[in-house]
């Protein structure tokens, strides 16, 4: 809701300052490109963190909320210490993905004492590909609308 108010204020200011009404859709597309770039940046950051991990085996323990996170995540036991997953746990297929006492192959990120399970790795890879394609396509569309392409 706040985003709509901000967009309305920016559009009203642009129109009051003498901008043409045709600029409004272009401004909204630029905002969309910036948001897509932010999402792509998140997946690049996650991929860099994933690249700095080492492969370990861990046993699934429970699903709960880590103290520094705002979402439920899976917890794994690695060498008698409990590590939380870096990504939120899957809600829909929870019973099929997280089997108690099963040993999983994980990627351990020692700086934050977190792991990346296979679900998180797939999310990062798909997120990189899809958000990258979305950014490129939206930029090309914006350039076409502006008339530079």
- Residue pLDDT, tens place only, 11-25: 888 888 887 887 878
- Residue-averaged pLDDT of the chain: 88
Residues composing the chain: 149
Residues 56 and 78 sit within 8 Å (Cβ to Cβ): yes
pTM for this entry: 0.82
Q: What is the DSSP string of the chain?
A: -HHHHHHHHHHHHHHHTT--TTHHHHHHHHHHHHHHHHHHHHHHHHHHHHHT-EEEEEEEEEEEE-TT-SSEEEEEEETTEEEEESSPPPSTTHHHH--TT-EEEEEEETTTTEEE-HHHHHHHHHHHHHHHHHHHHHHHHHHHHHT--
The pLDDT value recorded for residue 54 is 93
Asked whether the predicted pLDDT for residue 1 surpasses 80, the reply is no
- 71 vs 90: CA distance, rounded Å: 11
């Amino acid at each position: 809701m706040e985003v709509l108010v901000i967009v309305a204020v920016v559009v009203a200011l642009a129109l009051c300052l003498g901008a043409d009404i045709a600029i409004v859709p272009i401004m909204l597309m630029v905002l969309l490109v910036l948001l897509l770039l932010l999402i792509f940046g998140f997946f690049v950051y996650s991929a860099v963190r994933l690249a700095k991990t080492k492969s370990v085996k861990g046993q699934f323990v429970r699903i709960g909320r880590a103290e520094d996170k705002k979402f439920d995540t899976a917890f794994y036991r690695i060498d008698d210490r409990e590590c939380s997953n870096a990504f939120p746990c899957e809600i829909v297929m929870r019973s099929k993905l997280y089997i108690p006492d099963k040993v999983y192959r994980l990627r351990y990120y020692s700086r934050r004492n977190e792991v990346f399970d296979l679900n998180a790795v797939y999310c990062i890879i798909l997120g990189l590909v899809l958000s990258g394609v979305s950014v490129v396509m939206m930029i090309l569309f914006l350039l076409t609308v502006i008339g530079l392409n």
